[in-house]
Amino acid sequence: MPPERTPSGRRQPARRPPPRRRRRTQRRVPPFALAIIAIAVVVGIIALVARGGGDDPTASSATAEPVIPRVSEADIAAAAQQLSPRDQELVNIGQTGVSINRAGGNRKYVALTFDDGPGPDTPAILAELKKANVPATFFVIGRNVQANPEVFRQVVAAGHEVGVHTWNHPDMTTLKPAQQKAEIDNTAGEIVAVAGTAGRLFRAPYGAVDPTVLKGAENAKLLSVLWDVDTQDWMGPSPDQIVQAAVSGAQPGSIILMHDGPGNRASTVAAVPRIIKELRAKGFEFATVGDLVISDPPGADDMSSESRDTQR
């Protein structure tokens, strides 16, 4: 067919056919790569659905499992080696295979301690402690630190002492040594990651210890600390009952157990200022656990290698 002419009589250039599109060859993913991807997905799903224990029946069920802390073993090891003179004193006390139940009783001081936080009521407890100018010690759960980093930083910024209370709050005596180590190391690592400081104290959930648990704490350069006054505030008593338990049980050197973790801690919040007021009226003052045991070293009767519920 002859080429078409334009209105001026010139021949119109013949149209070129459009270039053919090259078909892209699809690269097949090797079967071994697909298998690796599938395994990674399954492991990720298992990690997301894994759950741990809590302080009491109401404290553990509502918290989803966070991811593992982003702190390397090298970071944890480096922090563990950075011991101040005060830290070294605590470590030396903890190298005898025992837990501290109380200080020596030679000074009229007591330590207020709070377990399982940080939680929703931790800021209210911090506010009461600040009003009274009282230092305290907080034994924290690693996953709760990770879930509430700003609240935990408030604890540290206020000058309170912090200690390791494991990652998931299990009975440590039921775990294998490697699992015990992970519970301690993951929590210690999260404390360093969030607050930039290393805790030097350890409290086993439920006060459950055995030689293996105590050895693990010593290896991590932590002093195992239990208590001699239990307010049983996690059971939901009234503020009056918590105050009564704390004040009537307190002696020089006492370590008083309370809780600030997830759950309804309204009674504990209400009891704290009253406990402080009534103990001061009896001539007591307050210190962190570390300062308490360093200034008033515990004697043989103030320490034990047994779990808290088996001690006489």
Task: List, by residue number, the catalytic residues.
Answer: 115, 259
Rounded CA-CA distance 308/212 in Å is: 16
Backbone angle region of 251, left / alpha / beta, with phi > 0 → left and psi within -120 to 50 → alpha: beta
Is residue 118 reached through a cis peptide bond, with omega within 30 degrees of 0 on the bond before it?
yes
Rounded CA-CA distance 173/307 in Å is: 9
CB 53 within 8 Å of CB 45: no
Q: Which helix (H) or strand (E) holds 121?
A: none
The full DSSP string for the chain is -PPPB-TTSPBPPPPPPPPPPPPPPPPPPPHHHHHHHHHHHHHHHHHHH-----SSTTTSTT----PPPS--HHHHHHHHH---HHHHHHHHHGGGS-EE-S--SSSSEEEEEEES-S-TTHHHHHHHHHHHT---EEEE-HHHHHH-HHHHHHHHHTT-EEEE--SS---GGGS-HHHHHHHHHHHHHHHHHHHS----EE--GGG---HHHHHHHHHTT-EEB--SEE--GGG---HHHHHHHHHHH--TT-EEEEE-SSS--HHHHHHHHHHHHHHHHTT-EE--HHHHHHHS---GGGEESS-GGG--
